[in-house]
Copies of this chain bind each other. A is one copy, B any other.
Amino acid sequence: MGQRQAIGIGLLGLGTVGSEVYRLLLDHDALTRAVGRPLVVKRVAVARADRPRPVPAHLLTTDGWTVVNDAEVDIVVELIGGLEPARGYMLRALEAGKSVVTANKAVLAAYGPELYAQVQSSGGHLHFEASVGGGVPLIKPISESLAAARLTAIVAILNGTTNFILTRMAHSGWSFNDALAEAQRRGFAEADPTNDVDGHDAAAKLAILASVAFHCQITSDDVFREGVRSITPRDFAYAKELGYEIKPLAIARKHNGDVEARVHPALVPLDHPLAQVPDEFNAVLVEGVNVGRVVFSGRGAGGTPTATAVIGDIITVAKDLVAGVRGRSPIGTPVPARVRPIEDVAVPYYLSLQVVDRPGVFARVATVIGEEQVSIASIVQKSRSEIADAILVTHDAPGRAVQRVLARLRALDVVKAITNVIRVQDSL
């Protein structure tokens, strides 16, 4: 920063969040009061030059490197998303000793360790509150206020789109496709919903949260991922009968020697703290040896809430720059983690089968399950002419045992179909 009075901001991206960040940065008085020096936007990179923008023309560029390399830019605010060129911009900015504030979950979840290493070596700051939970404060409270909590588990709803879809399916009886269409109509889901409904978005967010909470290196690739497309209205009906909601969960646990991380739909008991989190809301439950359970929740996404988180980070960085502090990031120095394979993770399972409806069939199904050392906690059986729905909930069973059970059930002539297999989140 040298002797300059103002702190220079460079903005990469002027989409929904970027435009809101720019608008909030115009509240000069409040920001100057918070930081002790003015914040001034020096450069703004946009994808296309031919659109009207609320930004003075002399600040605009279509070349992100112009922003990153500008000597007057102290804080690079990266809001373009995706892996490249975002990663390159961020690394270059950090190498040059600049600080970075980002909402980019993908790049953090993929290249976190590389970025954090650069923070350590060149002294800029890296903050990313907006990458998870939109406006709901998560990263800073977990890394700072709960620094002594010895966190061991995260159970969360991190994707508002899938929570909206499953809530509508549960409460309005809609099909997956109808609920998805409504989410798209409301602007929650993109035209190509893969990123949300197949769990990529939640997996990236979980990787970031687990890295911060457990002080270890977890990337998106470490997270087991299963989408919500296979959930049917029938699953909701049986879940309800058994006393469960179905929620899109992201779960990470720290064991003694390894870490488990997974994103999938799950049956949760009605009195679970996340069972009633509705619609597009996000919620994060963390549990620690020293703190018990703490829940953070809110509507999460949206341009203005996310921009608010970005501005909070900008204020934090700017205050640290004014104070002469170097090299801060909520991640600290994460250590490599051994990831527990999903086959070794033991949880209860909900199995939805269609079986031939005659005496003795259920005994054959139960025998197969028992022979694989999986025990049954509850059963619902409903006759529908020739075929019966058989819904089983097991006790804790390792993924590999359940795979063996499924292979053997498929081979039974009395089992006409395995309609669905969904994990159950009974504890926590």
Contacts and interface: CB of A to CB of B under 8 A. Distances in A.
A304 B323 contact: no
A148 B293 contact: no
A379 interface: no
A135 interface: yes
A296 B326 CA distance: 30
Nearest to A313: B145
Nearest to A135: B291
B311 A148 contact: yes
A76 B147 CA distance: 19
A375 interface: no
Interface in A147-171: 147-149
A56 to B, nearest CB: 22
A307 B332 contact: no
A325 interface: yes
Interface string A274-308: 00100000000000101111111111001011011
A293 B315 CA distance: 21
Nearest to A307: B290
A308 B146 contact: yes
A232 interface: no
Contact of A290 (B136, B305, B326): B305
A19 to B, nearest CB: 13
A141 B147 contact: no
Given A145-B129, A324-B323, A324-B324, A302 B312 contact: no
Contact of A144 (B24, B288, B315): B315
A193 interface: no
A34, A149, A308 interface centre (most CB from chain B within 10 Å): A308
Contacts of A290: 24, 135, 304-305, 307-308
Interface of A: 24, 30, 33-34, 129, 135-137, 139-142, 144-149, 276, 288, 290-299, 302, 304-305, 307-309, 311-312, 315-316, 320, 323-326, 332-333
Q: Which 10 A-B pairs rank lowest in CB-CB distance, beginning with the nearest?
A: A137-B145, A148-B311, A137-B141, A294-B298, A135-B291, A323-B325, A290-B308, A145-B312, A141-B141, A292-B299
Given A145-B309, A295-B296, 17 more contacts: A24-B290, A33-B333, A34-B332, A135-B290, A137-B145, A137-B294, A140-B140, A148-B308, A288-B308, A290-B305, A292-B299, A292-B302, A294-B296, A295-B295, A297-B297, A323-B326, A325-B325
26 contacts: A24-B290, A33-B333, A34-B147, A135-B146, A140-B145, A144-B312, A144-B316, A145-B309, A146-B308, A147-B312, A148-B312, A149-B312, A288-B308, A290-B304, A290-B307, A292-B299, A292-B302, A292-B305, A293-B298, A294-B298, A295-B297, A296-B296, A297-B297, A320-B323, A323-B325, A324-B324
